[in-house]
């Protein structure tokens, strides 16, 4: 694996660390490495939750490596499986991902965090997409995901001015789930991941798939679609051994033993 990306398995949690001093910027090679890490997580049935974090305490990620751009790397370069940063277009990942944002999430770094399901951030974290001030747009998800995650007027402000959003504002709009001191960020992210991993893996997959496939539908249409048999993860969950194990474990006053089947 690229030395700028390292992985650590803690029980059923995979911690992916982006380590490219000084700003954890992402070039094509690093993006490929991140993609392979997320795909490895996707394909390993023993892993339940992933965490993406940057090394150090100042930058989660400065996004696309502009030095690489100056050296000739194109905006539309091949960033590998999963798109930019390995996650922004990894559409078939049906397991939870937590972004642990330690400091600045800039441009593509912010887009990487947006591609996660949940965000925990250090108290001094900031989020911004300066692309429009540099002559392009955040097209690795920022221009598409921000208006879905924030009030449209707020998203337009961020996209068009490149201004910085601090943690308090991000929490106000529900963009950030939790905040904590940077010194305890990784520890708290891991504890949160372990809490999530206690839920049935097929249920977690069904949650992601139902939400993704019904996004934008009215409530009645969403119900009909969910029950139509077209959401494979939902159907798989309903017919699973785990769907029987959960109620049985509850009746026997014990922790369930999930097997993902």
Catalytic residue among 131, 168, 245, 252: 131
Q: Give 190-246 as a DSSP string.
A: HHHHHHHHTS-HHHHHHHHHHHHHHTTS-HHHHHHHHTTT--HHHHHHHTSHHHHHH
Q: What are phi and psi of 110, to 5 degrees?
A: -65, -40
CB 75 within 8 A of CB 69: yes
Strands 13-18, 5-10: pairing is: antiparallel
Catalytic residue among 29, 57, 111, 168: 111
User: Does the active-site annotation cover 111?
Assistant: yes
User: Does the active-site annotation cover 29?
Assistant: no
Q: Give 49-118 as a DSSP string.
A: EEEEEESSSSEEE--B-HHHHHTT--TT----TTSGGGTTT-TT--S-EEEEE-SEEETHHHHHHHHSSE
Question: Which residues carry out catalysis?
Answer: 111, 131
């Amino acid at each position: 694996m690229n030395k700028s990306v390292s992985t650590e398995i803690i029980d059923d949690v995979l911690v992916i660390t982006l380590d490219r001093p000084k700003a954890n910027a992402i070039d094509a090679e690093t993006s490929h490495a991140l993609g392979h890490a997320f795909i490895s997580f996707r394909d390993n049935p023993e892993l339940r939750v992933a965490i993406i974090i940057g090394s150090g305490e100042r930058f989660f990620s400065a996004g696309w490596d502009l030095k690489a751009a100056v050296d000739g790397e194109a905006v539309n370069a091949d960033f590998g499986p999963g798109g930019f940063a390995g996650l922004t277009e990894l559409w078939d990942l049906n397991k939870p991902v937590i972004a642990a944002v330690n400091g600045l999430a800039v441009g593509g770094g912010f887009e990487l965090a947006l591609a996660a399901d949940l965000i925990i951030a250090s108290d001094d974290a900031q989020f911004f997409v300066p692309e429009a001030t540099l002559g392009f747009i955040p097209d690795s998800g920022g221009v598409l995901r921000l208006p879905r995650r924030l009030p449209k007027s707020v998203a337009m402000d961020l996209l068009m001015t490149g201004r910085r959003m601090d943690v308090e504002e991000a929490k106000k709009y529900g963009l950030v789930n939790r905040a904590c001191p940077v010194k305890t960020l990784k520890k708290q992210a891991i504890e949160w991941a372990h809490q999530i991993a206690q839920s049935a893996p097929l249920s977690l997959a069904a949650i992601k798939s139902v939400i993704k496939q019904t996004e934008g539908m009215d409530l009645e249409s969403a119900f009909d679609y969910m029950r139509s048999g077209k959401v494979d993860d939902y159907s798989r969950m309903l017919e699973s051994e785990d769907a029987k194990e959960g109620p049985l474990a509850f009746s026997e006053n014990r922790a369930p033993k999930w097997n993902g089947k």
